[in-house]
Amino acid sequence: MPKAYWIAHVTVTDPEPYALYAAGASAAFARYGARILARGGTVNQLEGEGHPRNVVIEFDSMQAALDCYHSPEYQAAKEHRRDAGIANIMIVEGAE
């Protein structure tokens, strides 16, 4: 079964509530066995529109990634992010 990758491109507009989101999301990621592969760090935007914060999170399966996103823990954390930034989030199935 291929792994799945949660990819997020984010611009934080209000750091205080975003920090609450990050704390709650981290707890959800831990519960679903996620591994943070990239979070923040230097970005070299080569094409298209970019965001200053980029995140890649690995899950053992697409189902685990979806379960994490739809979990009560993540949805509660997401409420803190609602007015704290702009986020584009997707889950991509890895290659076998």
**pLDDT per residue of the chain (96 residues) written in tens, 0 to 9:** 899 999 999 999 999 999 999 999 999 999 999 999 999 889 899 999 889 999 999 999 999 999 999 999 999 999 999 999 999 999 999 998
Structure token pair of residue 7: 């990819």
**Number of domains into which the chain is organized:** 1
CATH of the domain at 76: 3.30.70.100
Are the beta carbons of 13 and 76 closer than 8 angstroms?
no
| Tokens encoding 81 | 């992010």
Question: The whole model's pTM is what?
Answer: 0.90
Domain limits for position 58: 4-42+51-93
